[in-house]
Copies of this chain bind each other. A is one copy, B any other.
C-alpha cells in the first residue's frame, strides 16, 4: 500500500500538495507573513496581504490541518456520541447540534454508541476532537465513563445524575408529563389511566412514569402497579401491549399515555385494526412530538420535547467551554409541554 505522497489539492510540483512555503515563494514573502495573512490579518500591510491572498487563490492553497493541529492543538471538530442515530428523535437532535456547530464555526463528528457487530476496532477518533457531547440514557452505557476519562471537554445530554461539575443540558420531563396526565384525567377516571413506557432502565422512561404516578396520586387516586408497564420504545411494543388490552376489553374507555410516539403509534394501529378509534373509544397521548404525530391520521397528541434545542444547547455549552475552559459548569433545563391534537380531549 503506497504511502506518501497521497496528495489532496492541486500541486505545483507534481505529487506534492501546495504548502505555505510555495505560497511564500510565489508572493516573495516569508512563510511567517503568509501565516499572518491567514491568522492575524491586522499585522500585515494591506498591499502585502493582498498579494499573498492572490497567491493563495492562484495556487489553490489550503492549510494543512495536521500541521496546524500540531501547533494549535485544536481541530475545530467536536464529537457527538448518541445511543443511536436512527429515527426521528435523534435526527432532530442532530439537526440542532449541526446547525449550532456550523454557526460557531465548528465541525460536528457524529457517532453512535452501538458496538460494531464484527471485529472492527475503530471507535471515535478522539484524538481529532476538541470536545465531546455525550448522551447517556441508561446506567449501563459506558460512554460516560469513557468520555470523562478522556480528559477532554465534555457536555452531557439529558443526564440527570450529573454532579454539577460538568456542563449538561437535560430534558425536564415533569411539566409536560404532568400536563398530559391532567389532560387525560379531565376525561377519564384515574383508575382507567395507564402509562405504557419504553425501556425500564431508561432514565426518561422512569421519570415520566414517576410523574405520571405522582399526578394520579395528587388527584387522590391510589395507583395500581398494573397501571404502568414497560417494554421498548417501539411501535411493536405498543401494538403488543394494545393487543392485550383489547383482548381483555380494557382499552375501550381508557386513557393511554405512551412513553414515546412510536409506542403510541403502535397502540393506535393495533386498536384501529380492532375497530377502535382514538378520542371516540379511548384517549391517547404520545411523547417527544416527533414528525410521526402529524404524519398519522388522526394526528397524535403528544408531549413536545425540544429536540433541536437539546442538540443545539449541548454544542453551545461545549463551544463556550472550549473558548473559556474556566467557565462555571452550567446545567440547562429544557421544558416539555403538551401538544393537543386529535387523539385526546
A residues within 8 Å of B by Cβ? 1-10, 62-70, 72-77, 85-87, 91-92, 94-95, 98-99, 101-112, 116-122, 124-128, 130, 150-152, 235, 262, 265-266, 269-270, 272-273, 295-297, 323-325
| New A-B contacts (12) at CB < 8 Å, excluding given A7-B73, A8-B152 | A6-B73, A7-B151, A9-B150, A64-B127, A66-B127, A86-B95, A101-B120, A105-B121, A107-B124, A266-B295, A269-B297, A272-B297
Please name 18 pairs of A and B residues whose Cβ atoms are closer than 8 Å in the assembled complex, sorted by A: A2-B325, A3-B72, A4-B72, A6-B130, A8-B152, A9-B151, A10-B151, A62-B126, A66-B66, A66-B75, A66-B127, A75-B125, A76-B122, A98-B112, A103-B118, A107-B109, A107-B122, A265-B295
B116 and A103 contacting across the interface, CB-CB below 8 Å: yes
Given known contacts A2-B325, A269-B297, A325-B2, is B103 in contact with A120 (CB within 8 Å)? Answer: yes
B127, A65: Cβ atoms under 8 Å?
A: yes
Using Cβ atoms and an 8 Å threshold, which residues of chain B touch A85? 85, 91, 94
Complex Cα gap A112–B108 (Å): 11
Instruction: Select one of B70, B72, B269 contacting A296, CB under 8 A.
Output: B269
Residues of B close to A99: CB separation below 8 A? 116-118
- Give the complex CA separation of A202 and B15 in angstroms: 38
Instruction: Provide the bound-state CA to CA distance between A103 and B123, in Å.
Output: 10
Chain B proximity of A272: nearest CB distance (Å): 6
Instruction: For the complex, give the distance between the alpha carbons of A2 and B321 in Å.
Output: 11
Distance to closest chain B CB from A309 (angstroms)? 15
- The 8 Å CB contact of A125, one of B77, B262, B266, is B77
Residues on the B chain within 8 Å of A324, using CB: 1
What residues of B have a CB within 8 angstroms of the CB of A323 in the complex?
Answer: 1
User: Per a CB cutoff under 8 Å, which of B6, B122, B128 touches A105?
Assistant: B122
| Neighbouring B residues of A272 by C-beta, 8 Å | 297
